[in-house]
Structure 1
Amino acid sequence: MIASSPDAPVVVAARRSHVGTVGRGHHDLLAPELAAPVLAAVLADVRAHGVGARPTDVVLGSCTGPRGNIARISALAAGLGVDVPGVTIDRQCGSGLAAVLLAASTVRAGEADLVLAGGVESASTSSSTTQAAFAPAGFPDPGMGPAADALAAARNVSRRRQDDYAERSHARVVAAQSAGTFATETVRIGSLDRDEHARCLDPALLARLRPAFTPGGTVTAASSSPISDGSAALALVPERLRGDTAGLRIVAGAVVGCDPSLPGWGPVPAVRAVLARAGVRLDDVAVVEIVEAFAAQVLAVTDALGLDALGTDSARICPDGGALALGHPWGASAAVSVVRLFTRLVRGGAPAGTLGLATAAIGGGMGVAMLVEVVR
C-alpha cells in the first residue's frame, strides 16, 4: 500500500443519478433538482457508516447551468442545513473530477472533516444558447467533434476501431444494467429508472453511418457521446475519521494543459503526471475510467499510454462501459467515473491496496486525472 497520513482524503460514499438523454428522461429538471437527491443519498450513506461529522462544504462542477451558485442551491434543497455552504466550479468536461480534487485538498489541509463533491449538468434546461469560447482569439478553438476527428487523424485511429469500441461500450452498459451492477450506485429521480441511451448496436449499421462532423472524417454519431443530463456526488473524509469504513483514498491528482487544437489529448500528460507523483506504473492500476467523449479520443489516449483498449487491457478500461453508452452530462461525467470506480473496487470487494484511475479530456486543451487506492 502507498504511504498515507491521518488527513489523507478518503471517498467513503458515492452515488449518481441515472443519466438521461437531453430533452428526454430528465428534460424538465433543473440542475439543483438533479443534484440535491444525490447529495442527500450520499450523506445518508455516510451516516449509515457511523460518520457523524457535519458537511463543511459542497463542491459541484457544472458547465452550462443557470446563473447562480448551483452547489449552494443544491445543498439547501438537499436539506443539509443553512450552515453548509457551496461552491460551483467550471472546468468543462473535467468539472466533476476537478470538484473532487478541490474537496480533497481541503480535507488534506486539515480544514474539513466532511466535504460532499461531484458534478451536475442539466443540458435540457440550460440557459446557455451557444457554446462559450474555450480559447481566446489567436488560439485554435475547434468544436469537440472536429477536434476528435483531428486527433483520430493525428494518432492514426481508424474508423473500424472507433466503431468496435463504441459497440463494446454499449454492450457493456447493457450487460451491467441486466446484471443490476448500477443498482447500488444510482438514485432514482423522477420517472427515469435506468440510464436511457445504451442499446445493442449492429456492427453493419455502424459501418454505414456517415461522418458526423468533418467531410471524410471518421467520427460518427455512434462513436460520439450523447448530450445528457445527470449528477454524481461523493463524500470525502480524512483517513483519521473513516474508522473501519471501506473507501477510496485519493493518492494523487493533476490538472494539466495541452495544445487547444487537440483537447482530447489532455488525459495523456495528466495521467503521466499523476503516476509520476504517486511513484507507480500504469501496469499497477487495476481499473481505468476515462470519460468516453469520443471513441477516437479514448483510443488515441490509451494508445499513447501503452494500453491496448480493444485487446489485452480491455478488461480494465471502463469495464462496465462509459459515456458513449451511459451518456455524457458534461459537468458530472468525470465524477461519474469516480462513482464507477467506487462500485467496481469498493462495493465489488477489491482488496486493500488496489489502485484505480479516473481521467478526462477538457475543452480548451486540458486534462485531469486522479489516482485512488482501496482502503479497508
Structure 2
Amino acid sequence: MNNAVIVNAKRTAIGKKNGMYSQLTPSELVSPLLTFLSEGIKEEVEDVILGNVVGPGGNVARLAALEAGLPLSVPGFTIDRQCSAGLEAIRIACYLVQAGAGACYLAGGVESTSTSPYSERARFSPDKIGDPDMGEAAENVAKKYNITKIMQDKYTLLSYQRSWNAFKSGYYAQEIVGVGSYNQDEELFHQRNMKKLLERATPCFLKNGTVTAANSCGIHDGASVAFIMVEKKAMHLGFQPVLRFVDSQVSGVHPFYPGIAPVPAIQTLLQRNQLTIEDIDLFEINEAFASKIVSCAQELSISYEQLNVNGGALTIGHPYGASGAILVTRLFYEVQRRIDVNYVIAAIGSGGGVGLAILFEVVR
C-alpha cells in the first residue's frame, strides 16, 4: 500500500454564529484555504473532500473547489457524519491514497452556522431509543461517569489558559489563513475572565445538572483543510511530510452518551496496532463539552499533559463540520515544535453516539 502523509494543514480563524463571518457561505469560507494550500500545484489536486453538517445542501466541496480556482477536473465530494465529518473527510482521503485511487487530496471540513437554512437540528436517534440534545447528552455523560461541575470547570479553565498561551506564543497564527481581514479567533477575546464566568454560571440543560454555558462550547463558523499525498509523490514535489496515516477506527455507543464515543474508537485502534496509551505522545479530542473531555481522559487514563495542549473548542469554538480537521491541523503544527513525539491521535464524538479516531505516526 501507499503511505498517506499530511504535508500541510490550515484553518480559518473561528467566528461566533452571526459574528465576523455572518455573511459568508460555507464555500466562501473554505475556498481561501483551498487556494492557499494548492498554490503552485493546483494541477496535482485530484479531489476535494469536505465535511459539512448544517450547510445549504448540494456539493459544497465542488462549489468551493471552483471558487478556489482549482481545475474544472477536480470534482469535489461532500460528506456528513455530524461533528466527525471533517475528520472523516481526512480519513477517507488517507484510505484513497493508500489504495492507489489517487495521489493528492485536499480534505477537511467547513461550517457556517450563521448562514444555515435550518432552524432545527437533524435527528440523532429514533424515538424508540430517544433523541437527546447534545447538552442533555453531556449531562448524561457527566452523571454516568461521575464527572462533577468542579472537574468540568477545572478542565475548562485549563483549556482557556492553554488557548491564551498558544495565541500569545504565535501558535494559532501558524495555523490560520486569513479570510478577508479576519485572522484571529473571535470567541477568545470575549472571555477575559473565565474563572469568574465559571463561578457564576448555572446549569443550562438540567435544573440540578453540572453542564453550564461556561463549560460548554458555543456555536461557531469556521473551516480547516489538510493536504494529503502519497509519500513518494510528496517528496518528489518537494514537500516535507509531517504526519503519516497509520490506522483509524469508528465506533458507536448509545445515543444518550455521544461524549464517550471516542473511548471505544481509541481503545480498538490501540489494540489493533499493539500500542498503549503511554505510546501516544499527544491526543487531540474535540472539546464540545468539558464533561466529554474529562470522562474520556478518565476512562482512558490520559494525562492532561498529553491532551489538547494548546486549548480547544471550549475556548475558541466548535464549527461542527470543521472541528475534526482542526484537531489534525493542531497536531500538524505541534509535532513540529517537539523532538520527542512518535505517535499522535485525533478523535471526536458526534451526535447519535459515533466516535472516530485516527492514529498518525510523526515523520522524521
Common fold by TM > 0.5: yes
Q: Where does the alignment leave 5 or more consecutive residues of structure 1 unmatched?
A: 308-312
* SS class of match (1:81): coil
Q: 2:210 aligns with which of 215, 218, 232?
A: 218
Cα distance in 2 for residues equivalent to 1:349 and 1:262: 34
Counterpart amino acid of residue 22 in structure 1: K
How far apart are the structure 2 equivalents of 1:235 and 1:322? 22
Query: Quick one: structure 1 residues 300 and 349, their matched pair in 2 at CA, closer, same or farther if it must change by over 3 Å?
Result: closer
**Aligned counterparts of 2:92 and 2:214: Cα–Cα separation in 1:** 34
**Letter of the 1:266 counterpart:** A
Name the CA distance, whole Å, in 1 between partners of 2:304 and 2:224: 25
1:193 shift after superposition: 2.2
1:208 equivalent in alignment to 2:192: no
Offset of 1:212 from its aligned partner?
A: 1.2
Deviation at 1:67, TM superposition (A): 2.0
2:227 alignment counterpart: 235
Distance of 1:69 and 1:202 partners within structure 2: 39
State the 1:168 CA deviation: 1.3
Q: Report the CA distance between 1:369 and its aligned residue.
A: 0.4
Q: What is the CA-CA distance between 1:203 and the residue it aligns to? A: 2.4
Residues 234-259 of structure 1, C-alpha deviation per residue, up to 9 Å, x if partnerless? 01111222226131001111111111
> Which residue is 1:356 aligned to?
344
Distance 2:42 2:273 in 1: 31
Could you say what secondary structure the match of 2:228 adopts?
Answer: strand
Q: What is the distance in 2 between the residues matched to 1:276 and 1:202? A: 38
> Could you say if the C-alpha distance between residues 56 and 157 of structure 1 is closer, same or farther in structure 2, counting changes exceeding 3 Å?
same
Describe the SS at the equivalent of 1:224: coil
Residue of structure 1 in register with 2:329 after alignment = 339
> Would the aligned equivalents of 2:4 and 2:94 in 1 still touch at CA under 8 Å?
yes
User: What letter corresponds to residue 333 of structure 2 in structure 1?
Assistant: T
What is the rounded CA distance, in whole Å, between the counterparts of 1:53 and 1:77 in structure 2? Answer: 15
Structure 2 match to 1:81:
71
Tell me how far 1:349 sits from its aligned partner: 4.6
Q: Given the alignment, which residue of 290, 294, 300 partners 1:295?
A: 290
Per-residue deviation, residues 165-209 of structure 1 (Å, max 9, x unmatched): 111111111111111111122111023220111234342441221
The answer to whether the 8 Å contact 1:167/1:200 transfers is: no
Looking at structure 2, the residues matched to 260 and 185 of structure 1 have their Cα atoms a distance apart, in angstroms, of 33
Distance 1:94 1:273 in 2: 17
1:161 partner SS: helix
What SS is found at the alignment partner of 2:173? coil
Question: How many percent identity over aligned positions?
Answer: 39
Q: Is the 8 A contact 1:12 1:242 kept in 2?
A: yes
| Alpha-carbon distance in structure 1 between the residues aligned to 2:38 and 2:255 | 38
Q: Which moved more, 1:115-124 or 1:176-185?
A: 176-185
- Which residue is equivalent to 1:151? 141
Aligned partner of 1:66 in structure 2 is 56
Residue in 2 aligned with 1:17?
A: 12
In 2, the alpha carbon distance for the partners of 1:137 and 1:160 equals 33
Alignment correspondent of 1:317: 307
Q: Does 1:95 align with 2:85?
A: yes
Give the AA of the match of 1:344: E
**Quick one: which of 281, 284, 290 aligns to 1:286?**
281
Give the match for residue 368 of structure 1: 356
Moved more, 188-197 or 54-63: 188-197
Gaps of 5+ in 2: none
